[in-house]
Structure formats: C-alpha cells, structure tokens
Amino acid sequence: MPDLTHASGALSMATPLSEGYHPVAQLYDEMCLASGDLRPHWDYLIRSLEALGAEDFQRRCLDVRRLLHENGVTYNVYADPQAQERLWPLDPIPVLLPSTEWSTIEHALIQRAELLDLLLADLYGPQQLIQKGILPPELIYAHPGFLRPCCGVPGLKGFHLPLYAADLARTPDGSVRVIGDRTQAPSGAGYALENRIVLSRVLPSLYRDSHVHRLALFFRALRTTLHHLDPHQQDNPHIVLLTPGPDNETYFEHAFLANYLGYPLVHGSDLVMRDNRVWLNALDGLKPVDVILRRVDSSFCDPLELRPDSLLGTPGLLQAVRLGQVTVVNPLGSSVLENPGLMAYLPALARELLDEELDIPSASTWWCGDAEQRRFVLEHLDRLVIKPILPHPSTSTVFGAALSTQERWALAERIRAEPHLFVGQEHLALSTAPVVADGLRGHAGRAESCRTEYGHVGGVEPVRRCQQGRLGAGLRAGAAGQFAGDDAPSDYADARWRRRTGTRRRRPVLARPLHRAHRGQRAPVTRGSAASAWRRAGTVR
C-alpha cells in the first residue's frame, strides 16, 4: 500500500490523507498550513485522491511507472556507476500553485528575463557595465561561457535571449527565491509536457476538472518565435533541433520536442557549410537551414572558432551566424549568464538597466573575487553553500555545514588561492510537499519563459525533489507534476468527480486516450525503449 510521506514521516492511504500529515517545524509546507489544516487550493485534490481508495490509488501509481516505461521516458546520469539510463521518476501527486501566486511569479520572471536580455546585449556589445565599474571584468572574462569570438555578432530581432528558465525555491517564510538562472539551453519543458500527458491519462477526471493552466500557449509561442527569427523571412522556414546525441542526460527530451514541434533532430555532423550558409545533409540532398534550436553547449557548436576538440558542432557555424545566414536559439555565448557570481550584482543591474528592484530576489550570494564579500564567505563558511563559477564535472557544490574542520580549512585555502572562481550562497531550507515514494523531501521548481515579438510567455516545468532539503545539480532526485490552476473547481465539477470515483460508478484508470492529435487525427504511437521518444505529436494538455 502506498504511503504519503514527507520529511516528518509516512501516512497510509487506509486513513484520510489529511490526517496524520503534519508540517515540519520551521519549514514551509506546500500542502498544509502551520496548524496542520489543508491550504484551500489543495482541498479538492486531496479529497479526490481519498475518494479513490487505497487499492485504486495503488493501481494508478503503478500505471504512472508503466506508462513512463512504455513511452521510454528516461534521464541519463553521467555519474551513476550502475546504469547510465534511468527511468524518469514521476510522483503522482502534483505540487499545486494557485493562479494568483503563479501570476506574481510569472511577472517577476519576465522582469528577470528582460534584465538578462539587456545584460547579454551589453556583454557582447558595448560592455558599458564593465566600463562603468558595475560589473568586475574578471567575473565575466574568467567564465568559460563568455565567448570572445561572439563579441559584435548581430543580435536577434529586437531581443537577445529567446528562452530563459529559473530554478525556484520557497523559503520557510513562504517567499520564493531564484537559486539558478538557465540560459544556455534551458531544459525541462519536454519533461513537463510528458508529466502532464501521463497524469492526465492516469487521473483523467481530476486533471480535467482542476482548472489546470495548459502548456499549449508556451509551445505555440515557441513555434511562433522560431518562425519570427528566420533571417530570410520565409513563410515556411527550415528549423532543426541540434542535439549532442543519445549520451546526453536529456536526450529523451530532445527527441520528444523535435517530434512534437515537427522539427528534424540533427547532430552537428548532419549539418554542412556551403557559401556561408548552413545546410542539412538529408537523404534527398542538401536543404538550407534557417533556424537552429540548439541543445549543444555553445563552446561545442563550432570547432573552427570555439572549441577545436569538439565533435558535436559544425565548422563555420559562427561565421554563418555572424553574416546573418542562420539564427541559433539560444544565441552562442548565452551561458555566461548562468555564472552564479552574477547573482550578487543583479540587484544593482536591475536598478541600472530597468530602474526597478527585482520582484523576486535571488538567494543571497557573495562573489569571492570581491575582498569584502570574500571575507564574509570565509567567516561564515560553515553556514554557506560554496559554488564554483566554472561548470565542470570535477567541480561541485559544497555545503559548508557538511564539512569537517579540516575540509573547511582546505576549502578556504582553495578560495584564497583563486577567489574569483567561487561564490558563497545562503543555504535555503526548501519547502516540503507530499510524495508517494521513499522519503523524498525538499523540492524546488523550474519555470521557463519564451520571448516573442510581443512579449514573454511562461510555462511551469517539473518540480525537482531532493534528499534532506538540499537541491543537487541536475534532475537526478526526481520530479512531480507542477500545476498552476485557477481557484477551486465549481461544485458541479466536484459532483461529477464524486460520481466518477464513487463505489458504484468508478471510471477505469485509462479512461481517456493519451492525447488528442491535431484536428482529430490520431498520431502514430511506438512503444518500447528510448527510441519511443520519437513516438507521437499531438495537442498539449
């Protein structure tokens, strides 16, 4: 029988879910108030799950795993010695956000995306922020994401950062903080869509009656933006999705999105240069490429001008971008904005570039390249999270509280030797949420926005859940669906749910098809291994 767990213990489905589940002291709980009562926007979900009963709920939990296995939803883990390919872990209980709260978060993330867009334009353009002393030059130039060959490359049409994602965490007082900016090639939207598809099939009535905000607008905006960025202004531009290949940790998402959006999934070796244009070497001959949606890190995209040992890119790609013959999304060099040291300067940058304060602040961050900030980090090493600004498999986030005295001394010496390569960040106590699993605890979410010629469109992505309230790198801890919805469903919808889940009239688990194809046309379905990521296209739920 499945248990509903959080950091404080477990609860059997044989008893009402709202009984025996108590918030952890001094932590914010997504489902319960400090008194133990359910938050209003959770009431409908919990009552609906309780109406299923233990046996039916157990069956649906197993169906979640079965569907993920049949659909080949995987996540590759580089550091896992047991197996490289891992089944995507999806918890059947979503994390809920009311519409009012999501609107506030969405507005704040749009502001942050605008700020980073202006910052990217300046770093690869006039660099006035460095000249004015607002940004220290070593913070930018020492980061491998800053690609000098990209300086002076023309920007996109009216903006520079089409896709942006932020990792979010909720603090014990209920406020939301940004703990990471994702600008290289933000991932997660495909997994969020897959989460929605699976949950809408396993819990069809609940999903339909809960007024969940749809993801369709985000993907329509993405298509529109990519078409708008065609440098040749054609009615039907040729767009491809560039992937590093099956060994990448999110390769499933690459194949899934390419099939869903209707774009060819290509490797760098599939593209060739002719007359300063990029061409796709297809079976029926060369085809011109107008827009590249990349999932390859910037420095690997062009071995001619960027990283010479790269086997993932296309020689001459940067020159084609420089001449305006092809558009790459996100732009080459955008990963410089993922530098965690920038978080210490974002409040000042917001005042300089937007004349505003940040609506959602970052987790408090201190860049060790500044003498005053370095002194603070070294004095509070046991209470901070130490992060390197250089992304590399050999470097990792260190929690000062988990180190011994000798280990902290060694870390302090490394910081003193190369201070500009480290930041200290406050250790946030993440909020808790109910799970049906083996004791996963804290969680953090990711939200992604897509810039169009008319503004930003946002979307909610999977929630990351992690052990002991700590957020690790990547997606390895697990995921749950994250729903942003309107207020509680109407009484009529509630009555329909009771009829469908009552003892006399219970709908079967797989009562609805996996998706609706466009305009009533059913898309082909392929079952099996990771290749099934190519399997379907249809209406996003």
Would you say residue 465 has pLDDT above 70? no
Q: What is the mean pLDDT of residues 305-309?
A: 95
Q: pLDDT for 256-300, tens place per residue? A: 999 999 999 999 999 999 999 999 999 899 999 999 999 999 999
Supply the pLDDT for residue 5.
47
- The radius of gyration computed from the CA coordinates of the chain, to the nearest angstrom, equals 24
Supply the pLDDT for residue 1.
41
Supply the pLDDT for residue 28.
92
Q: pLDDT for 31-81, tens place per residue? A: 988 888 889 999 888 888 888 888 898 899 899 999 999 988 888 766 565
Helical segments of 124-250, H only:
128-131, 137-141, 189-202, 204-209, 216-228
Supply the pLDDT for residue 437.
55
Rounded to whole angstroms, the Cα distance separating 7 from 3 reads 13
Q: pLDDT for 363-376, tens place per residue? A: 999 999 999 999 99
When mean pLDDT is compared over 81-85, 162-166, 429-433, 457-461, the highest value belongs to 162-166
Least confident among 116-125, 367-376, 516-525: 516-525
Least confident among 135-144, 165-174, 330-339, 391-400: 391-400
More confident residue, 440 or 486: 486
Selection from 28, 341, 334, 347 nearest residue 160 by Cα: 334
Least confident among 21-25, 76-80, 266-270, 504-508: 504-508
Supply the pLDDT for residue 423.
96
Rounded to whole angstroms, the Cα distance separating 323 from 232 reads 12
CA-CA distances (angstroms) from residue 515 to 225, 460, 523? Answer: 25, 19, 9
Q: pLDDT for 474-491, tens place per residue? A: 233 345 666 665 543 333
Residue 262, burial from CB neighbour count under 10 angstroms (0-12, 13-18, 19+): exposed
Supply the pLDDT for residue 176.
94
Would you say residue 13 has pLDDT above 60? no
Tokens of residue 391, six digits: 């992304």
Would you say residue 89 has pLDDT above 90? no
CA-CA distances (angstroms) from residue 13 to 20, 46, 92, 320? Answer: 11, 11, 14, 59
Supply the pLDDT for residue 244.
95
> CA 65 from chain center: how many Å?
21
Residue with token string 């749009």 = 110
Rounded to whole angstroms, the Cα distance separating 46 from 92 reads 12
Q: How does residue 190 score in pLDDT terms, banded at 50, 70 and 90?
A: very high
Q: pLDDT for 208-247, tens place per residue? A: 888 788 888 899 999 999 999 999 999 999 999 999 998 8
Supply the pLDDT for residue 6.
47
